[in-house]
Every structure is written in C-alpha cells, then in structure tokens.
Amino acid sequence: MSSYLDTLLNRQFAIAQGDAEPLPLPKFDTYTICNLRGDIGKTSLAFNLSYLADDILAVDACPQCNLTYFFDNDYLNNVHLTIYDMLLPAFVPGLGTASHVAKKISATNEFFEGKNSFYIPSDTQLYVLPSQVSNAIFQAKTITGTQQTEIVDAMLFSLRDNLIREMKDTKTSRCIIDTSPFFSGATHLALHACDALIVPVRTDQQSINSLSLLMKTLSDPASEFRRNMPSDQHCPKIQMIVLTHCGWSTVPGSRNRPNQQTKVYVEKVLDIIRQYITFFTSPDPLNHLLLLDDFLGTGRISSAKSKPIELLSEGESLTINRVRTEVNASVRKVQNQLKFIHSCIF
Ligand SMILES: Nc1ncnc2c1ncn2[C@@H]1O[C@H](COP(=O)(O)OP(=O)(O)OP(=O)(O)O)[C@@H](O)[C@H]1O
Ligand SMILES: [Mg+2]
C-alpha cells in the first residue's frame, strides 16, 4: 500500500480516537458546501457542522428546503422571509430590499438551546431563480461603460452582501451555506458569497464525475462560472473534500483498513486533488481529504428527530416507517470525525 494512503489511514485512525493533530490549514469565516450531485451529504454536513459551531449563520440555498426543515419542522406554516425574498431585489428592479431575514435556530429546534446560531430559510421559489439571474446578467451586459461592471458585481455578490448584513445584525461570526446539486442560480451566487468550499463526495462513480464537473466549473474559461466573473475575479478555493458513506473492512485483523470500494474512491479523489492542487487552500493534497463513515441508522435517527449527531448516544432507538432503527455502536467514531472536520474549517 502506498505511503500517502498509509498516512491518510493512520490519521483517520487517530481522528476516530479523538486524538488527531489539527491540519495546518488557513481558516475562513464563510464556507459553501457544494458538489453538483444530490444525496451525497451536503445538508447532513451543513446541519451537523452548524451545531458544532457555536455562533453561526446557516444558510439554506437549496430549493428543496431540507436544511430549513432540520431547523424548523413546521416552516411551511410559519410565515417568514426567505433567501428568495432576500435575493430577488438584486435581479428584479423596483422591489424593496428584505432585511432581518435570519431566524434564531433555538426558537424552533430545542437542540440549539443556548447557542447564538441563526439560519436563513429557503423557499421552493428558488427553483425559478436561475432564469432570473441569467436574464438579469444578460441584460446588464448590454450596458456599456463602467456601470456594467458595477451592476454585474452587485448581482454576483448579492448573496455575499446580504449575508454580511445579516451576520452583523445577528452578531454571528461564521457562516455555512448549503447548496442544491445544480450550478445555476443560488449555487452560483453561493460560490461568490464564500471564502472557501467544503465538497462532499460519496463513494460512488457519479460523485467522482460531479467532482470533475465542479473542478471544470471552477477552472475552465468556457464554464458558466468563469464566463461571468466579477471584476476582482473572485474564485473560492477548496478547503476540504469529505468522502462520505465510507465503509471499513470487516475481515479479522484488518483494523483501520477501508473496504475495497472506499479505497478505490480515496485514490480517485486524491488523483483529482493532485491534478487541481492550485484550487485548494494549501499545497499538500493530504491536507484536503477526510473520510466520514456511513452514518447508517445514526443518520436516519438524526434526520427523523432533527437532532445533531453529536447529541445521539449508542443504542438510542426510534421506529421510523415501522422499522425499529438504532444509533449505531460507531456513533462515537462519527462524532469524532465530524468534530475533526469542524476543527479544520473554524
Ligand atoms: N457519511 C455520511 N455523510 C453524510 N450523509 C450520510 C453519510 N452516511 C449516510 N448519510 C446519509 O445520506 C443522506 C444524505 O442526504 P443529504 O440530504 O445530506 O444529501 P444532500 O447532498 O444534501 O442531497 P440533496 O442534493 O438532495 O440536497 C442522509 O440520509 C444521511 O443520513
Ligand atoms: Mg441537501
């Protein structure tokens, strides 16, 4: 087995025990969780990392509203301003701006009691934002002179500028943005609203394809992202790729060895990191890949109760869709992995 894989697995073993050395990474205030594929763990990570950060603004930029549901199970009946109300005035002339959009999480999720954490709810209306954004940018580009630059910048940085105001209002110092699996619209704006990216990749080939697509989006001059750059050429770097749904060998004596599937995807992801290392926040590929075990029943219970994994204990059970589900024995390991990811970003 190659030495880089050994280094990575030894570190994962230390992380599982809760005694790994922190990685030598720069830290940022605002991260976007993004990869152009669904069901890979973006929202689960956004929810659990939001819990681990004590004062945070968590932003739901996905029209499915899954993160919003984690924070408020009754959000459909609770009338409030959403991210759509906040963004639309930047693209449709004549609309008044929406402010004080953030809501305190502890008001609707008891597990966040005592934390100065807020969230910006999403809205299914966000599904129509892509056409509004692209029409408005197209129109703006017909304007001649320096005004064009100012107008396009204001559009591309509309989410960033709104979040700066909301963070000031809520006295939060950190921000995590959850995105949809699609680039156009809110995800595009979320790439310009953050300092760096967290990229979940599931252990399957489609996730590798979507990682390649994301890297192309960030790097290819012909991509929609690169063709519409703001005047300062802002492009977020990647802080961390989190390989989700990892499994480990159950062969006796093979402790700390990934199963074959996990091993294959560790190698594929490391190849891509090496190829695009200038798009990462440090020059060492090994600083940018962390493994997160398959949550199994623990994840199902966390979702069903909107309860952060950090607060679950082994053996806790719940009947979900008539199936008795339990928090797995490996919950401590997953908690340590999540805490380590948190320590690498804030
Ligand atoms: N290691 C893991 N990391 C993240 N999610 C995991 C992991 N293991 C299992 N899961 C499960 O995988 C599912 C991931 O769903 P999640 O909603 O977080 O994905 P998503 O990327 O946000 O999807 P979408 O693009 O549809 O919004 C959840 O049911 C979660 O419990
Ligand atoms: Mg999601």
Give the tens place of pLDDT for each residue, 237-255. Answer: 999 999 999 999 988 877 7
Q: What is the mean pLDDT of residues 298-308?
A: 97
Consecutive H or E run containing 180: none
CA 339 to chain centre: 15
Q: Look up the CATH number of the domain holding residue 139.
A: 3.40.50.300
Ligand 1: residue whose CA is nearest its atom 16:
41
Distance 39 CA to ligand 1 centre (A): 5
Nearest Cα residue to 193 out of 150, 235, 141, 140 = 235
Nearest Cα residue to 191 out of 180, 200, 202 = 180
301 shares a domain with 239: no
Percent pLDDT > 90 in the chain is 92
User: Can you tell me which atom of ligand 1 is nearest the CA of 294?
Assistant: 8
Nearest Cα residue to 199 out of 336, 61, 51, 37 = 37
Query: What span, in angstroms and rounded, lies between the C-alpha atoms of 263 and 203?
Result: 9
212 shares a domain with 81: yes
Q: Assess contact for 109 and 306: CB atoms under 8 A.
A: yes
Distance 56 CA to ligand 2 centre (A): 18
Query: What span, in angstroms and rounded, lies between the C-alpha atoms of 122 and 46?
Result: 14
User: Is the pLDDT assigned to residue 309 strictly greater than 90?
Assistant: yes
Backbone angles phi, psi at 30, to 5 degrees: -125, 125
pLDDT at 146: 87
Backbone angles phi, psi at 86, to 5 degrees: -70, -35
pLDDT at 256: 79
| Ligand 1 site-directed mutation target among 42, 44, 211, most atoms within 8 Å of CB | 44
pLDDT at 255: 72
305 shares a domain with 269: no
282 shares a domain with 150: yes
329 shares a domain with 228: no
Q: Measured at the alpha carbon of residue 46, what is the angle toward residues 44 and 49, in degrees to the nearest 5?
A: 100
155 shares a domain with 86: yes
341 shares a domain with 236: no
Indicate whether residue 337 lines ligand 1 (CB < 6 A): no
Query: What span, in angstroms and rounded, lies between the C-alpha atoms of 70 and 226?
Result: 33
DSSP 326: E
Nearest Cα residue to 224 out of 189, 195, 266 = 189
User: Nearest bound ligand to CA 181?
Assistant: 1
- Mean residue pLDDT of the chain comes to 96
243 shares a domain with 305: no
Q: Measured at the alpha carbon of residue 254, what is the angle toward residues 253 and 260, in degrees to the nearest 5?
A: 150
Indicate whether residue 295 lines ligand 1 (CB < 6 A): yes
Last residue within a domain, chosen from 296, 311, 330 = 296
Query: What span, in angstroms and rounded, lies between the C-alpha atoms of 140 and 26?
Result: 36
Beta bridge partner(s), residue 323 = 320
28 shares a domain with 146: yes
pLDDT at 145: 85
Indicate whether residue 39 lines ligand 1 (CB < 6 A): yes
> One-letter amino acid identity for 33?
I
Q: State the virtual CA torsion across 69, 72, 74, 80 in degrees, nearest 10.
A: -100
Longest dimension (CA), the chain: 70
Mean pLDDT check: name the lowest of 136-150, 203-217, 289-303: 136-150
Indicate whether residue 203 lines ligand 1 (CB < 6 A): no
Distance 322 CA to ligand 1 centre (A): 21
326 shares a domain with 200: no
Query: What span, in angstroms and rounded, lies between the C-alpha atoms of 186 and 183?
Result: 8
64 shares a domain with 41: yes
Indicate whether residue 202 lines ligand 1 (CB < 6 A): no
Consecutive H or E run containing 177: strand 174-179
Query: What span, in angstroms and rounded, lies between the C-alpha atoms of 68 and 344?
Result: 25
Total structural domains within the chain: 2
pLDDT at 89: 97
Banded pLDDT at 222 (limits 50, 70, 90): very high
64 shares a domain with 144: yes
The range of the structural domain enclosing residue 230 comes to 3-296
Per-residue CA distances from 307 to 110, 123, 294 (Å)? 9, 22, 17
Indicate whether residue 301 lines ligand 1 (CB < 6 A): no
Indicate whether residue 244 lines ligand 1 (CB < 6 A): yes
Q: Angle formed by the axes of helices 158-170 and 186-193, to 10°? A: 60
Tens of pLDDT, residue by residue over 17-34, are: 999 999 999 999 999 999
Banded pLDDT at 71 (limits 50, 70, 90): very high
Tens of pLDDT, residue by residue over 72-129, are: 999 999 878 999 999 999 999 899 999 999 999 999 999 999 999 999 999 999 999 9
Alpha helices in 198-296 (DSSP H): 205-219, 224-227, 260-275
Distance 45 CA to ligand 1 centre (A): 8
User: Can you tell me which atom of ligand 1 is nearest the CA of 296?
Assistant: 9
pLDDT at 88: 96
